[in-house]
Amino acid sequence: MIRAGILGGTGYAGIETVRLLLRHPEVKIERIVSQSYAGKKIAEVYPNLMGICDITCSALDIDDIAKSCDVVFTALPHGASKEVIPALYDKNLKIIDLSGDFRYRDVKVYEKWYGQEHSDPELLKKAVYGLCELHRDEIPHTRLIGNPGCYTTCSIMGLAPLVKAGVVDNRSLIIDAKSGVTGAGRGLNLPNLFCECTETMKAYKVATHRHTSEIEQELSLLAGEEIILSFTPHLAPMKRGIFATCYANLKKAYTTGALLELYRTFYKDEKFVRIYPEGSLPEVKHVSGSNYVGIGLTVDPRLNRVIVISCIDNLMKGAAGQAVQNMNLLFHLPEDTGLTEAGMYL
């Protein structure tokens, strides 16, 4: 059995990782680390686990984690992970980091968008960006995964086939994306309280959201040239989900059917990608609670523009589900182990 530890196990991404690992046939959870709830049983913090998991949360002890675990999921705030992970890495552990601290190929890009120095740029060079569908061959050969963000996973996967094939003007890319409130984490924050975010919708961090740089990094690698795009996130009155509407100008005339075939070819062996037939588009409820990505598109012939709709669950394929998918690759297990359940729909 793979022995797992979750650092930051009482946040939304952390507890979703716990939930998935509890039903994983090849994993035993050995440690749940939480500075805020050390000494409390996880079922006291999340009563849905009552009678299912009686692990007591513990404070961080690197030596104890190293003795007890084979893999560590670090569901810590941005900035905190990079202070903890080097010590875990030195203990020969495999690490899947759900923060943004090890997602970048260029430390200068990280420091620009996160507004802080990276404490271990040499270790950053050893990390692999954990978008499994794009970096599957690299993932098994590292011990440190930078698990992608939720907006980024949804947006990159929506645009990747077009950019890779060179059929769109890369200067025309626009992403309009909506997130469920769980994307903001579990901490108390006035704009995320129920009465502040229900029955409304709002844009935030317009032209400054950190995930912009992550999307640009991966699409630039696919295109073989630098891509700069427009990304606008919105908070939607739902608990979970990412809904990205992506726009791109076509270099020549294509039909919707032709581009859908391009997508089917690009993702032909991907277990978690669903390409919708012409005339049908994905919705958040189609993927909520699952590790699946729903993608559909339409060509607007008046403007010679393609509009791509991409949907994921931000806590699953956008965080914990993708982290478990990465773990499966790291340990040479079937990639969908523990992840094949259908979404909740309701």
* DSSP 8-class letter at 343: P
Main-chain dihedrals φ then ψ at residue 80, nearest 5 degrees:
-80, -35
The residue behind tokens 């080097």 is 86
- For 250, residues 6+ apart whose C-beta sits below 8 A from its C-beta are 167, 168, 169, 299, 304, 305, 306
Burial (CB < 10 A; 0-12, 13-18, 19+), residue 124, is buried
Q: Which residues are catalytic?
A: 150
Residue (of 342, 343, 292, 295) closest to 322 by Cα position: 292
Question: Residue 224: left if φ>0, alpha if ψ -120 to 50, beta else—which one?
Answer: left
In Å, what is the CA distance from 117 to each residue of 86, 100, 113, 121?
A: 15, 13, 10, 9
Residue 4 tokens, joined:
């797992």
The pairing of beta strand 174-179 with beta strand 202-203: unpaired
Q: In what order do the strands lie in the sheet with 71-74?
A: 27-33, 2-7, 71-74, 94-97, 144-146, 128-129
